[in-house]
Amino acid sequence: MARAGDARARALIAAIVQMARGLELRVVAEGVETEAQAAFLREIGCDAVQGFFFARPGAASAVAQICAARRGAPALP
């Protein structure tokens, strides 16, 4: 994702999210690396985000445990 301070990139991202909303699509932003980027995406109504800001890549079992812990549910084997 582009730097959060780049006004043109922010405008483009917001337009893409708005277009997706108009088409009744869910929006997932990938490559989120900073709190500022995550905050901007929440502000414009992005449905889900992923990237190094939240977690580094890992084994499927480790990712399942992280997700379960965040939901408060037991991880599947």
Candidate from 2-6, 16-20, 29-33 with smallest mean pLDDT: 2-6
The answer to whether residue 77 sits within a structural domain is: no
Question: If you average pLDDT over every residue of the chain, what do you get?
Answer: 85
The answer to whether residue 76 sits within a structural domain is: no
Q: How confident is the model at residue 2 (pLDDT cuts 50, 70, 90)?
A: low
pTM of the model: 0.69
The answer to whether residue 2 sits within a structural domain is: no
Q: How many domains does the chain have?
A: 1
Q: How far apart are CA 17 and CA 28, in angstroms?
A: 9
Percentage of the residues of the chain whose pLDDT score is greater than 70: 87
DSSP states along 23-67: TT---EE----SHHHHHHHHHTT-SEE-STTT-----HHHHHHHH
Range of the domain at 19: 7-71
The answer to whether residue 37 sits within a structural domain is: yes
